[in-house]
Amino acid sequence: MRAFLIGTVILVVLFVASVFVPVSTTARLVPAAIFANGTSSARLTWSVENVFGRPVPYYPAITRVELEPDDSLVRLVGESSRSGGPAELELFLRAGDRPGDLRVRLHDGEDVLTFGLRLLEDDGDRDADGIPDRAELSDRADREAFRKWFAAIAEAQFYAPDRRWAGVHRDCAGLIRFAYKEALRKHDRRWLQEVKYLHQPAQRDVRRYNYPGVPVLGERVFRARPGAYRSGDDIEKDFSAAASARVLWEHNTVFLGKELQDARPGDLLFFRNPERHSSPMHSMILLDGRLVYHNGEDEVRLVTVAELNSHRDDCWHVRRDNPHFLGFYRWKILEGGRP
């Protein structure tokens, strides 16, 4: 009996040792190169395994990840350090929009493991919507910031038109273009001092880039011709700093539907009436159940959807059965190449 107990204890000790004693370390950063397009990412994994090839259940040393020269090229997704608990760590390095080389150092309490990560220039258009991927807002917080600034700036023009909005650009498409560019700017104290009125601005700016420093495009932020963008295309021919309502509709937005429930604040409405030969296209901006637009003549107007639907001219009604109402649309930088 005694021998049996001794044997059992030995077996238990051996089993515990086999579970808790480190045998090997595995660390990988895959891939070693990603595109600097705001969406690509590399995966860093680290673990200290036991004899069964599983992470040791408890590892007391602090494990941490450091980036050199800094973290401006990537954003860390996940925990960049751990202590206690299982000997494993998983971390994603999400690319920004600047190319460069980065060194990733992993300190695991005993060794320092070093990996290289290269961020490659990427001027592609994977969704084939005509807009370079680097100019699209892939981060949800950036998209929301843009929406709020765009809507707030457009609404402000009803109460107090911005003196920076040049008279030559004061029409329905001009209001949209102005609010679009200003929404992408950095809204510092100097910018705010120029604005007389802002209702519910965003709490943060778009962080991926700020106008006029838009990746690939610079100030020419509006797609001017059909087709996908390809690296090396002539930006001056394919893009423009200004665009008509028709060009905005055809090449810079994607269709959402013809019901109000299909859209969100910051989306656009387009109308087309071929009988109005001087200006057959018209555009508006959706706020919170209200619409803001320039009437194409001398003023910015702010109305509710219900008020517009009671207009004596039914070509302006926001209704599915109105053939002149093209529907609600969303910027491609927010939605990508949605069909």
Phi, psi (5° rounding) for residue 121? -60, 130
Per-residue pLDDT reduced to its tens digit, 295-330:
888 899 999 999 999 999 999 999 999 999 999 999
pLDDT at position 336 is 67
Using 50, 70 and 90 to split pLDDT, how confident is the model at 15?
Answer: very low
Asked if 285 and 292 count as a contact pair (C-beta separation under 8 A), the reply is yes
The segment with the largest mean pLDDT, out of 14-23, 28-37, 155-164, 199-208, is 155-164
Per-residue pLDDT reduced to its tens digit, 182-212:
999 999 999 999 888 888 888 899 999 999 9
- Give the separation between CA 332 and CA 335, rounded to whole angstroms: 5
Torsion angle of C-alpha atoms 217, 222, 224, 226, degrees rounded to 10? 90
Asked if 59 and 48 count as a contact pair (C-beta separation under 8 A), the reply is yes
Residue given tokens 């200004």 in the structure block = 242
Reply yes or no: is the peptide bond before residue 69 cis, omega within 30 of 0: yes
Per-residue pLDDT reduced to its tens digit, 228-279:
998 888 999 999 999 999 999 999 999 999 999 999 999 999 999 877 656 7
pLDDT at position 83 is 86
Answer whether residue 2 shows pLDDT above 80.
no
pLDDT at position 320 is 94
- Give the separation between CA 331 and CA 123, rounded to whole angstroms: 19
Identify the structural domains of the chain with CATH numbers, from first to last. 22-120 (2.60.40.10), 133-335 (no CATH)
Strand, helix or coil for residue 2: helix
Q: What are the structure tokens assigned to 317, written together?
A: 């009604």
Per-residue pLDDT reduced to its tens digit, 87-143:
898 999 999 878 899 999 999 888 899 999 999 877 789 889 999 988 999 889 999
Q: What is the pTM of this model?
A: 0.71
Q: What are the structure tokens assigned to 82, written together?
A: 């751990």
pLDDT at position 11 is 42
Using 50, 70 and 90 to split pLDDT, how confident is the model at 1?
Answer: low
Give me the chain's average pLDDT, please: 88
pLDDT at position 110 is 81
User: How confident is the model over 145-156, as a mean pLDDT?
Assistant: 97
- Beta strand 81-82 with 63-68 is antiparallel
Residue bearing the bigger pLDDT, 108 or 153: 153
pLDDT at position 167 is 85
